Amino acid sequence: MNIILLGAPGAGKGTQAKMLEDKFGLVQLSTGDMLRAAVAAGTEVGKVAKDLMEAGELVPDEVVVGIISDRVDEEDCKGGFILDGFPRNTAQAEALDAMLEEKGLSLQHVIEMKVNPDILVERITGRFSCGDCGAGYHDIYKPVSKEGTCDECGSTNLNRRKDDNEETVRSRLEVYSNETEPLLPYYQGKGILRQVDGMASMDAVAEELNAILSA
């Protein structure tokens, strides 16, 4: 089973993708994570991506399409994958269709996580995570119990993403509504669009996703 999680920045795609990996044996393919790794490693892709990401703009289509195409060919994706953060515009969606057809693959579900845009800036600008174990936190909604220390593993290596500042978040949200939202009618037309309430609790969202994937 191959699926897409669609939703604005901060909608909770990453959190739910991790849950679906464990529960359904799927592999999460996050273009954002892959690009951040490329930036950290200073690769050619990373050099192209760095400034665009810091400005909240999209990295060129051919770059992300190439990354996804290579990644999907790897052995661990044979059992199915979750696309998180890709496609992000119509050109990428069309490239994805062509790529899947060529590889003899298909999409079963495109799931939109619906959220109220007003709360996204607060959700995103307050979030941080543990650089060692990956646990996610939020200043208000999920604070650590001991200042500066990860509850899960005791690490003091807590980080904020460089693009999680208010100005960049506003441009990311604008890019989402201008470029990515038009994908909803695109997938609706193919009859594979599903919707979940991303404002519900993490557990409730997980349950809705379970129901869709188990049906």
* CA distances, 68 to each of 35, 50, 127, 137 (Å): 11, 18, 26, 28
170 is annotated as an active-site residue: no
Taking the complex as a whole, how short is the minimal distance between the CB of residue 141 and Zn ion, in angstroms? 18
107: contact with ligand ADP by CB under 6 A:
no
Q: How far apart are CA 125 and CA 156, in angstroms?
A: 20
Of 118-147, binders to Zn ion (CB under 5 A) are 130, 132-133, 135
Binding ligand ADP by CB under 6 A: which of 2, 16, 28, 31?
31
Residue among 85, 47, 80 nearest 65 (CA): 85
Question: Does position 180 bind ligand ADP by CB under 6 A?
Answer: no
| Residue 1 Cβ vs ligand ADP, minimum distance, rounded to whole Å | 21
| Min CB(215)–ligand ADP separation in Å | 26
Distances (CA, A) of 140 to 7, 174, 190: 22, 24, 39
SS3 state at 3: strand
- Interface residues with ligand ADP (CB under 6 A)? 9, 31-32, 35, 52-53, 56-59, 64, 85-86, 88, 92, 163, 172
